[in-house]
Every structure is written in C-alpha cells, then in structure tokens.
Homo-oligomer: A and B are copies of this chain.
Amino acid sequence: MTSTELLYEGKAKKVFATSDPDVVIVEFKDDATAFNGEKKGQIAQKGVANAAITTRLMNFLASHGIPTHFHKQLDERRLAVARLQMVPLEVVVRNRVAGSLEKRMGVAEGTVLEAPVVELYFKNDALGDPLLNEDHIRAMGIASEELVAQLKKQALEVNRLLQGFFDDRQLILVDFKLEFGMQGGQLLLGDEISPDTCRLWDKKTLRKMDKDRFRRDLGGVEDAYREVLERVLS
C-alpha cells in the first residue's frame, strides 16, 4: 500500500491518503508534546513502540467485539486504518485520579474511583480541549444524544477489556483517551492506544510507565515506552 497525499499532520502522527478512498495510512512520529503543545520534545523510538502497541491493542479489542479502524501494520511506524469522519470529542475514561482530575475533584493522585469516570472533551487545540457536558455537546451540534450514549458505553467496554489486559501484564490502567469516528454509518474506535494516550502504572511499584515521565521530566521516558511494549507483546 502506497502513501499518497499527506492529509494531516498532528502532534504525534501523520496521516496519508491511499489509492483506496476508505483507507488511510497513519505514521507514528517520535515527536512528543504536552500541555496543549507548550512543551515539545522527542522520545527516541516512541513512534515504533506506539505503532506496535496500538496494533496489539486494536487487535485485542477487535477480537473482543469492539469495532475499530485498524486494518494492518505496514511497517514499524505505519498502520493502514479505515478513513473516518471523526467525532470531535476526546473520550477519557478514568479508574484512578490523576492529571486534571486532581484539581477538578480536589483529590490526591492515585485515589481509586469506585466506578470509572467518563469525560468528554472538545477536540480543539485553539480552545485548549475544554471539558464539555452533554448540554454543550447538544448545543454545539457535535453529536446526538444517542451517539454520546454509544460513545460512553463503548469507552466503558474498552476500559473493562483493557483493564484486564494490562492487569495480566502487571500494569494498572489509570486512565486513557479514545477517539471515535464514523465510516459507512458505523462507529469505529480510531486514533491510537499507547503510553501517549494512557496512564499506565506498574502494579507493584506504582512507577509511571507513560507520557507523564515526559510531561513531568521524570527521566527514563524511552525505557518506560520500551517496557510497556515488551509487556504488551508478551
């Protein structure tokens, strides 16, 4: 499959058109950003790790009934995926308090949530990806009530599956972000699932194994991505 036109370059990925109008190629970069692009850097081999981790997790989810955009891995940095009409929401699922939730709830990092918390953010860099409630989403015409319910239900099912997957690999899935899109009237899970989009902590030591090492200058960033890759492939 040959890449043609560059359709979009994001902070961590490039998306190319292909000869098939329903398929695009996603190329994973080593570029890393945080705090809405204010912090920039590179994480060596991150693109390679995230492409492989995403491949494994999308295959795992698909085998458990979650419709995803994933077609196949083309090489170490490139995946062929379904071209989606993206829903402009970031769907975040949280099992423990971390990141922005600490300040929103006034609760310490690591606090276990009795039930998962789902958050919907407007995917809009210029506005800083603000949190939305369902009235906002309706007023903005982003998604119907039915679609919002479907997104939340699907995200919780992905959470249930991934929690088990990571737990088997001695990792705690603290929280993660999903993006969805439509193709041919069907809602598909899109984007990536990786230490860029998940908070993953070692089950025994609670060591952070994700992009927080980059965000918070904790060191050992490349090692963490490599370690997650090894555990995910095991």
Taking the full assembly, how many copies of this chain does it contain? Answer: 2
A117 CB within 8 Å of chain B: yes
Q: Which of B105, B106, B113, B139 sits near A113, CB closer than 8 Å?
A: B139
Shortest distance from the beta carbon of A153 to any chain B beta carbon, whole Å: 13
Size bracket of the A interface: 20 to 34
Digit string of A116-139 for contact with B (CB within 8 Å is 1, else 0)? 111110101011101111111011
Digit string of A25-57 for contact with B (CB within 8 Å is 1, else 0)? 000000000000000000000000000000000
Q: Is the CB of B135 within 8 A of A117?
A: yes
Neighbouring B residues of A130 by C-beta, 8 Å: 103-104
Supply 12 A–B pairs (Cβ within 8 Å), ascending by A: A101-B136, A103-B128, A104-B127, A104-B130, A104-B131, A105-B139, A107-B140, A117-B136, A117-B139, A119-B133, A119-B135, A133-B133
Residues of A within 8 A of B (CB): 101, 103-107, 113-120, 122, 124, 126-128, 130-136, 138-140
